[in-house]
Amino acid sequence: MKLLHFVVPLLALIAHSAAAQPTRIDVAQTVVQVPLAEDVTMDDAITSMKLRANLHNLMFVAHQPLSTQLESMGHASSRLEIFQFCDPVTARRMVDYNPVFAAYMPCRIALVERPEDRPVLMMLDLNMLIQGAELNPELRRLAEEVNVKLTDVLNAGANGEL
């Protein structure tokens, strides 16, 4: 009987603890990753992305050369850079519809040097976000257009296309 008094509360604690654990997601499933083609340097990829973004009227709004900053702080780092692009009109319309969308802006593409493999470009999988969001048809169309443009920027960079 004494054992039952111990086991029942223990089981309740375990059940509560399991229920309180947040759902885990595989974050790799939330991004699009494209390795650079064999003949494309990281600098080529950057140039291609900027040119393609300009072609699509996506503003190049920010660049964060994180590896350079880390090195200036005395930390060795393989290359890591973040590039931010924006379609200001669509951004404003999305935020007017729901201010939460501001947290997803501007759109980012990361350049990650991987010592064991080819460098990779990656961005948030906007298809996942667009499909899960409550959007009216016009905003859905605009979001899908930005996604197509940004995906083209990513692929142009990975392939060194002008």
More confident residue, 157 or 133: 157
Average pLDDT, the chain: 89
Residue 120 in tokens: 């990779």
* Burial track 104-124 (b if 16+ CB lie within 10 A, e otherwise): bbbbbbbbbbeeeeebbbbbb
pTM as predicted: 0.83
Whether the pLDDT of residue 18 is over 80: the answer is no
Task: State the pLDDT confidence band at 5, using cuts at 50, 70 and 90.
Answer: very low
Question: What per-residue confidence (pLDDT) applies to 29?
Answer: 84
Cα(159)–Cα(153) distance, integer angstroms: 10
Q: What are the tens digits of pLDDT across the range 106-142?
A: 899 999 999 889 999 999 999 988 998 899 999 999 9
Q: What is the mean pLDDT of residues 18-42?
A: 85
Whether the pLDDT of residue 17 is over 90: the answer is no
User: Smallest Cα–Cα separation from 50: which of 116, 135, 111?
Assistant: 111
Task: State the pLDDT confidence band at 10, using cuts at 50, 70 and 90.
Answer: very low
Question: What per-residue confidence (pLDDT) applies to 28?
Answer: 82
